[in-house]
Structure 1
């Protein structure tokens, strides 16, 4: 059993790691236009084992958590750009079927892949 002091140190490490990761992901997203998942997923994989027993599901949980944060960030970005009139909804509509197919294909691949396979990717 871990002591209260050890648990407090682990929680502090968790919070600091996620704050730094969020800052790095935000900077890379702003500079390069990526979602930040390539920064967030490895950090989550480093932090999650401290709070839950290791399992095959951790990789998928880390990826899902990263994607959830990217969806929220992207939605807020679209709303901000829309307010400035900088979103071309005609292009967005023309891409929609391909976006839906890409999401569906990614879900199928991730669902049928092992955690080790996803870790390599």
Structure 2
């Protein structure tokens, strides 16, 4: 089982989505868009917007995602956002969140790290 596999743990649903912009131009872009569309149809786990997916657009990428999340995931109480080079023990996260009796999701909880390489 992969750590980000969609499943239920202690009665809580764990779901993941991948976020992408666009890359390249011409035939390269059409081919990549085709592959991403197939991924989305097959797994239903892909969000894509029309912006150049680059380091310089990470803020835009997060803002688009948070707007989508706020609109589409009203029943979700907690969100973890990470890059493709992280490992997150989602079972431990659920345990931690369930142990916070003072927070039913109405209070913000921000936890993060930084990439020391850049």
- The TM-score, its normalising length taken from structure 1, stands at 0.31
* Higher normalized contact order (CA 8 Å, seq sep 6+, divided by chain length): 2
The structure having more radius of gyration, on CA atoms, is 1
Task: With the length of structure 2 as denominator, give the TM-score of the two structures.
Answer: 0.31
